[in-house]
Structure 1
Amino acid sequence: MLTNLSIKKVSLATVLLYLLVFFSPYAFQPFSPNLVILGTTVTYILGAAGMIWLYMKNKKSAATITEREAKLTSPVFIFLLGISGIFLAMIIQAVVFSIETAITGEQPSSQNTQNIIAIILANPLFILATTIGGPIMEEFVFRRSMIGTIETYSGFWLAAVISSALFSVIHQDGHFFVYFFMGLFFAILYKMTGKIWTSILAHCGMNTLVVIAQLILHYANIELPQ
């Protein structure tokens, strides 16, 4: 069941699973806030596990054009590029934030990040959703599924632009270009190796460092300069 599927069917199943997980917090709203956070965390982890299972069971039958054409597929290169991608992603984020600040005059703060940190402070278990479950699902949805489906008709780069735009919109953070260029960077990592694990490693690592940095600032009672 759900094996030897085409990339279109795997992509559809992945997106539907993502939507189910994305809206799952509403199912827990009648209960206590702690149960909402716990339920959301569990669904994020299960959603990520489900997507990995779909990928592994259909890896050959649902290979994307990007995966078939990739040349730099060495596990060592994938690991090194994924690790370096963590820091490159943070640099890109900082640069785009700085450009936005220079143009708009608004402070480079992320409401999405602040909301996540507030939830983690209330229930530390949620860190698993933000550093593992969420990034894994986003990479399977916005990089592998969307690019894998769209590039059949448009080529990689237009598919990457479309998926990055949707990746930014879904975050609802008001910093469209920050998330857009982050998504585009993760798409490039995926293209370079043809392995979704490369962008997953970079994405999970970046989220982890951001969360750790924010928690350090909070517990040390440090305020960033305005």
Structure 2
Amino acid sequence: MSIQKYSLFTILLYIIAFFSPIFATTSQASTTTTTVSYLLGAVLMILLYSNQVTKLTFENDHSSLVSVLFWGIVGIFLAIFLQTLIMQVEQFFGVPIESQNTQNIIRLVLQQPLFALAAMVGGPIMEEFVFRRALIGIFDSYSLTWLGIIISSLIFAFIHQDGHLLLYFSLGFFFSLLY
């Protein structure tokens, strides 16, 4: 399967999972639908990726398991540092530190504990496949990897819809570089 087809299917799965809760009739059904659709979307994206034989240009480097684990662990701390730094910059420019998106997710997790699976497992897995591989992959096939990283980071920032555009753009850009 070509990178373009893979990317299209991955993005389509994300859109379906993201918008499936609008068909639920109650808020209880909506959180259940979100949880199921996010987990199912993540599983389907993993399967789609595992059947993908075409690699992106920067995926051809075979990193050792130790290197991957090192950058995975160090990446967590670097992301926290970056988030703290960017939040200070945003606060300097008058952006409130609170995130309405995060507050809504916390409220839903407290009301429906199983929703944590959507927020902490399904959603992040889908985001990585969409924003780090599918969107960048579209541009990578035309040797425009950096443009793909920038556009992917911008879309990542806008999709979070809570006014922290610089924060989410920076994190999206960092995660793309880490990938």
Q: How does the TM-score come out when normalised to structure 1?
A: 0.76
Does the 8 Å contact 1:24/1:40 carry over to 2?
A: yes
Match of 1:123 in 2: 112
List alignment gaps of at least 5 residues for structure 1: 191-226
- Determine if the alignment matches structure 1 residue 64 to structure 2 residue 56: yes
- Determine if the alignment matches structure 1 residue 34 to structure 2 residue 28: yes
- Determine if the alignment matches structure 1 residue 92 to structure 2 residue 82: yes
Match of 1:176 in 2: 165
Residues 2-59 of structure 1 show CA distances to partners (whole Å, capped at 9, x for unaligned) of xxx111111100000000001011011x1x322221111011000000000000011x
Does the 8 Å contact 1:44/1:134 carry over to 2?
A: yes
CA RMSD of aligned residues (A): 1.2
Pick aligned residue for 2:21 from 15, 21, 25: 25
Whole-Å separation in 1 of the counterparts to 2:98 and 2:80: 14
List alignment gaps of at least 5 residues for structure 2: none
Describe how 1:1-226 pairs up with structure 2 within 5 A: 5-28=1-24, 30=25, 32-58=26-52, 60=53, 62-68=54-60, 70=61, 73-104=63-94, 106-190=95-179
Whole-Å separation in 1 of the counterparts to 2:113 and 2:4: 37
Identity of aligned residues (%): 47
Deviation for aligned residue 1:154: 4.7
Does the 8 Å contact 2:42/2:123 carry over to 1?
A: yes
Residues 62-117 of structure 1 show CA distances to partners (whole Å, capped at 9, x for unaligned) of 2111212x35x11121122112211211111111010011122x431111101100
Whole-Å separation in 2 of the counterparts to 1:22 and 1:39: 10
Secondary structure of residue in 1 paired with 2:96: coil
- Displaced runs of 4+ in structure 1, greater than 3 A? none
Does the 8 Å contact 1:45/1:129 carry over to 2?
A: yes
Counterpart code for 2:152: S
Whole-Å separation in 2 of the counterparts to 1:142 and 1:167: 7
Secondary structure of residue in 1 paired with 2:163: coil
Does the 8 Å contact 1:66/1:148 carry over to 2?
A: no
Deviation for aligned residue 1:150: 0.8
Whole-Å separation in 2 of the counterparts to 1:179 and 1:109: 14
Does the 8 Å contact 2:45/2:129 carry over to 1?
A: yes
Does the 8 Å contact 1:120/1:126 carry over to 2?
A: yes
Counterpart code for 2:8: L
Q: What is the count of residue pairs matched by the alignment?
A: 179
Does the 8 Å contact 2:3/2:141 carry over to 1?
A: no
Q: How does the TM-score come out when normalised to structure 2?
A: 0.95
Does the 8 Å contact 1:168/1:179 carry over to 2?
A: yes
